[in-house]
Chain A
Amino acid sequence: MSTGRRIALALLTNPNGYHAAAWLHPSTDAKASTSIEWYRDAARLAERGLFDLFFIADTPAARTSQLEAYSRLPMFMNVFEPITLLSAIAGLTTHIGLGATASTSFSEPYNIARQFASLDHLSHGRAAWNVVTSANDFAARNFGHEKLPPHGLRYERASEFVDVVQKLWDSWEDDAWIRDRARGQIFEPAKQHAIDHEGKFFKVNGALNIERTPQGQPVIIQAGASDTGRDFAARVAEVVFASDATIEKAKASYDDLKGRMAKFGREPDGLKVLAGKPNLLAHSAQEAEDMYQTLQAMIHPIVGKMRLGMDLEADLSDLDPDAPIPEDRIPKSANFHQAYFNHILDLIRQGLTLRQLWQRYERGHQTFRGTPEQFADHMEEWFTAEACDGFMMTFSLMPSGLAFFVEHVVPILQKRGLYRTAYEGRTLREHLGLKRPPNRYVAAAHPLAAAQ
Chain B
Amino acid sequence: MSAARMIHLAFSAHLSGAHPGAWRHPSTEDGSDVSIAAYRRLAKIAEAGCFDMFFMADTPALRINDLEAWSRYPLFTNVLEPLTALAALSGATEFIGLGGTATTTFNEPFNVARQFASLDHVSGGRAAWNVVTTANAYAAGNFGPEPLIAHAARYDRAREFVQLVKKFWNTWEDGAFVYDRPQGRLYDPSKLHPVIHEGEHFHIRGGLNIERTPQGHPVIIQAGASDAGKDLAAETAEIVFGSAKTIEAARAYYGDLKGRMARYGRAPEELCLLGGMPVIVGESTQEAEDKYQTLQELMHPVVARQRLSMDLETDLSDLPFDEPIPESRIPAKANFHTAYFAEIVRMIREDKLTLIEIARRYQRGSTTVRGTAKQIADTMEEWFSTGAADGFMLQLPLQPEGLADVVRLVVPELQRRGLFRKEYAGRTLREHLGLRRPPHVPPVRQAQAAQ
Chain A residues near B (Cβ < 8 Å): 23-24, 30-31, 34, 36, 40, 59-62, 64, 67-68, 71-74, 76-81, 83-85, 87-88, 90-92, 106-108, 110-111, 114-115, 117-119, 121-122, 138-139, 141-144, 171, 177, 179, 181, 184-189, 192, 194, 198, 202-211, 300, 303
Closest-by-CB residue of A relative to B65 is A194
Q: Is B60 positioned at the interface, with any CB of A under 8 Å from its CB?
A: yes
A179 touches B31 (CB 8 A): yes
Residues 21-67 (chain B) with a chain A CB within 8 angstroms: 23-24, 30-31, 34, 36, 40, 59-62, 64, 67
* Interfacial chain B residues near A189, Cβ < 8 Å: 67-68, 71
B62 touches A207 (CB 8 A): yes
B118 touches A141 (CB 8 A): no
Q: Is B110 positioned at the interface, with any CB of A under 8 Å from its CB?
A: yes
B88 touches A60 (CB 8 A): no
Chain B residues touching A, majority SS: mixed
A142 touches B110 (CB 8 A): yes
Residues 149-207 (chain B) with a chain A CB within 8 angstroms: 171-172, 177, 179, 181, 184-189, 192, 194-195, 202-207
Chain B residues near A (Cβ < 8 Å): 23-24, 30-31, 34, 36, 40, 59-62, 64, 67-68, 71-74, 76-81, 83-92, 106-108, 110-111, 114-115, 117-119, 121-122, 138-139, 141-145, 171-172, 177, 179, 181, 184-189, 192, 194-195, 202-211, 300, 302-303
CA distance in complex: A211, B194 (Å): 40
A79 touches B83 (CB 8 A): no
* Interfacial chain A residues near B88, Cβ < 8 Å: 87-88, 90-91, 122
B181 touches A108 (CB 8 A): no
Contact of B115 among A31, A79, A84, A142 (CB under 8 A): A84
* Interfacial chain B residues near A117, Cβ < 8 Å: 81
* Interfacial chain A residues near B185, Cβ < 8 Å: 71-72
Q: Give the number of A-B contacts (CB < 8 Å).
A: 233
B209 touches A186 (CB 8 A): no
Closest-by-CB residue of B relative to A184 is B300
| For the complex of A and B, 6 pairs with smallest distance between CB atoms | A203-B144, A142-B206, A189-B67, A87-B87, A184-B300, A118-B81
A71 touches B189 (CB 8 A): yes
B24 touches A181 (CB 8 A): yes
Shortest beta-carbon distance, A99 to chain B, in Å? 14
B60 touches A67 (CB 8 A): no
Shortest beta-carbon distance, B204 to chain A, in Å? 6
A24 touches B181 (CB 8 A): yes
* Interfacial chain B residues near A107, Cβ < 8 Å: 108, 111
Of A31, A72, A111, A211, the most chain B CB neighbours within 10 A belong to: A111
CA distance in complex: A118, B114 (Å): 18
CA distance in complex: A17, B111 (Å): 26
* Interfacial chain B residues near A87, Cβ < 8 Å: 83-88
List 30 A–B pairs whose Cβ atoms lie within 8 Å, in order of A's numbering. A64-B207, A71-B192, A76-B209, A78-B187, A78-B211, A81-B118, A84-B87, A85-B87, A85-B122, A87-B85, A88-B87, A88-B88, A91-B36, A92-B91, A107-B108, A110-B60, A111-B106, A118-B85, A142-B110, A142-B206, A143-B204, A144-B203, A184-B24, A184-B300, A186-B23, A187-B71, A187-B78, A204-B141, A211-B34, A300-B184
CA distance in complex: A310, B89 (Å): 39
B186 touches A71 (CB 8 A): yes
B186 touches A77 (CB 8 A): yes
Shortest beta-carbon distance, A67 to chain B, in Å? 4
Shortest beta-carbon distance, B190 to chain A, in Å? 9
CA distance in complex: A64, B207 (Å): 7
Given A179-B30, A206-B138, A111:B188 Cβ within 8 A = no
Shortest beta-carbon distance, B160 to chain A, in Å? 12
A115 touches B83 (CB 8 A): yes
A84 touches B171 (CB 8 A): no
A114 touches B106 (CB 8 A): no
Closest-by-CB residue of B relative to A200 is B145
* Interfacial chain A residues near B144, Cβ < 8 Å: 198, 202-205
Known pairs A23-B181, A61-B209 / 10 extra A-B pairs, C-beta < 8 Å: A59-B209, A87-B83, A142-B110, A181-B24, A184-B302, A187-B71, A204-B143, A209-B61, A210-B79, A211-B34
* Interfacial chain A residues near B210, Cβ < 8 Å: 34, 78-81
CA distance in complex: A73, B187 (Å): 10
A185 touches B108 (CB 8 A): no
Closest-by-CB residue of A relative to B209 is A62
Contact of B67 among A24, A108, A192 (CB under 8 A): A192
Shortest beta-carbon distance, B239 to chain A, in Å? 21
Closest-by-CB residue of B relative to A64 is B194
Given A62-B171, A192-B64, A202:B145 Cβ within 8 A = yes
CA distance in complex: A78, B211 (Å): 6
A62 touches B72 (CB 8 A): no
Shortest beta-carbon distance, B289 to chain A, in Å? 23
B71 touches A204 (CB 8 A): no
Shortest beta-carbon distance, B19 to chain A, in Å? 13
Shortest beta-carbon distance, A252 to chain B, in Å? 36
Contact of A138 among B92, B139, B206, B303 (CB under 8 A): B206
Closest-by-CB residue of A relative to B20 is A184
* Interfacial chain A residues near B64, Cβ < 8 Å: 192, 194, 206-207
CA distance in complex: A303, B80 (Å): 42
Shortest beta-carbon distance, B123 to chain A, in Å? 8
* Interfacial chain A residues near B80, Cβ < 8 Å: 118, 121-122, 210
Closest-by-CB residue of B relative to A145 is B203
Contact of A110 among B31, B142, B194, B203 (CB under 8 A): B142
* Interfacial chain A residues near B61, Cβ < 8 Å: 206, 209
Shortest beta-carbon distance, A21 to chain B, in Å? 9
Contact of A77 among B142, B194, B209 (CB under 8 A): B209
Of A60, A85, A122, A207, the most chain B CB neighbours within 10 A belong to: A122
A88 touches B91 (CB 8 A): yes
A206 touches B142 (CB 8 A): yes
* Interfacial chain A residues near B302, Cβ < 8 Å: 184
* Interfacial chain B residues near A300, Cβ < 8 Å: 184
Given A91-B36, A189-B67, A211-B34, A122:B110 Cβ within 8 A = no
B209 touches A79 (CB 8 A): yes
CA distance in complex: A223, B437 (Å): 42
Closest-by-CB residue of A relative to B106 is A108
Closest-by-CB residue of B relative to A30 is B179
Closest-by-CB residue of A relative to B177 is A78
Shortest beta-carbon distance, A447 to chain B, in Å? 26
Of A80, A84, A106, A179, the most chain B CB neighbours within 10 A belong to: A84
A114 touches B60 (CB 8 A): yes
Shortest beta-carbon distance, A208 to chain B, in Å? 6
Shortest beta-carbon distance, A89 to chain B, in Å? 8
* Interfacial chain A residues near B138, Cβ < 8 Å: 206
A84 touches B186 (CB 8 A): no
B77 touches A187 (CB 8 A): yes
Shortest beta-carbon distance, A177 to chain B, in Å? 7
B110 touches A143 (CB 8 A): yes
Given A78-B187, A119-B84, A208-B62, A64:B192 Cβ within 8 A = yes
CA distance in complex: A381, B121 (Å): 43
